[in-house]
Amino acid sequence: MLKLHDYGTTDFLQILKNRYPDQVGNWNQPNGLQDAVPQNFLEGTTVLALVYDEGVIIAGDRQATEGYQVGERRIQKVYKIDRHSAIAVAGVAGPCIETAKLFQVQVEFYEKIEGASLSLDGQANYLSSLVRANLSLAMQGLIVLPIFAGYDLKQGKGRIFKYDALGGRYEEDSYYAIGSGGKDARSTLKKLYQPDMSNESALKAVAEALWDAADEDIATGGPDLIRKIFPTLTLITEAGVSDVPDDTVAALYRELVARLEQP
């Protein structure tokens, strides 16, 4: 039977909590994990974003680790949220992917009900509450850390938001990287970033930052030329969200390898 009483709400998580508490058992409530932290879980590693002249690039490597093992070689860390935004997640893979999925559903839910897109700031604020909802897991070290990026149609530019474990939301105006190799990626971006970078030099900088992260951090995966697995590079411009094709990413890395190769 249809229930019409929660007509006014556009908060999907609230609807799930009210009506299907079993579906969101992990969210925002203490659970049986308090004493023991499970050992077998996947962790996603390095994600980053960089503003350039046409918008913003959001990217991530494809590896997830399980302790000192490679847990997954082709994990997806970058998720399209709406026509002009995407999220990249680092941290415990299960809750990370669930956060991305829930966030995407929420933004689309809002858009359909209101008949208008949720503003980029509105999306960024809502993501705060999703990260905060994961607090009880975060307290045990099972952390979800997203980077959210989008093209702001009103301001006519790419924007980046980073989060802390408590759901704190902070805007970066140039670049940011997070995850186990985030610090290494940030060092590279710090050297290579310039205001109003072209598409080409921005892609090169991002590829190099992910390479350096994989080079320095044992958990981050580099381009896998044997299995043909390449990092995800996603462009967000006024025209929308588009993944850079694998061939282009492969070419970027071949060029990089040729440059770095020692005689």
Partner 1 sequence: MSTPYYVSPEQIWEDKKDFVRRGIEQAKEVVALEYKDGLLMVAENPRRTTFKISEIYDKIALASTGRVAEYEALRVAGIRESEVKGFTYYREDVTGKWLTNLYSQHMGAIAQAWDAKPLEIELLVCEVDGNPAVGSQIYYVDFDGTYHEEEKFAVIGGRAEAITDILKETYTEGLELPAALQLASRTLERVEAEESEPYQISPQTIEVACLDATAGRRKFRRFSIEDIAEIFNHAS
Catalytic residues: 45
**One of 72, 109, 164, 199 touching partner 1 (CB under 8 A):** 109
Which 111-150 residues touch partner 1, going by CB under 8 A?
112-113, 115
b/e code 54-63 from CB counts within 10 Å (16+ = b)? bbbbbbbbbb
> What is the end-to-end Cα distance of the chain in Å, rounded?
72
**One of 73, 74, 101, 190 touching partner 1 (CB under 8 A):** 101
**One of 49, 93, 102, 213 touching partner 1 (CB under 8 A):** 102
237-242 contact pairs (CB < 8 A, 24+): 237/54, 237/55, 237/151, 237/158, 238/54, 238/55, 238/84, 238/151, 238/153, 238/156, 240/83, 240/84, 241/80, 241/83, 241/84, 241/85, 241/86
Could you tell me the smallest distance in angstroms from the CB atom of residue 109 to partner 1? 5
15 sits near partner 1 (criterion: CB under 8 A): yes
Nearer to partner 1, 52 or 103 (CB): 103
**Residue span 52-91 as binding mask against partner 1, x where in contact by CB under 8 A, dash where not:** ----------------------------------------
Half-sphere exposure of 202 (CA within 13 A, CB side): 25
- Binding residues for partner 1 (CB under 8 A): 1-4, 6-7, 12, 15-16, 19-20, 23, 101-102, 105, 108-109, 112-113, 115
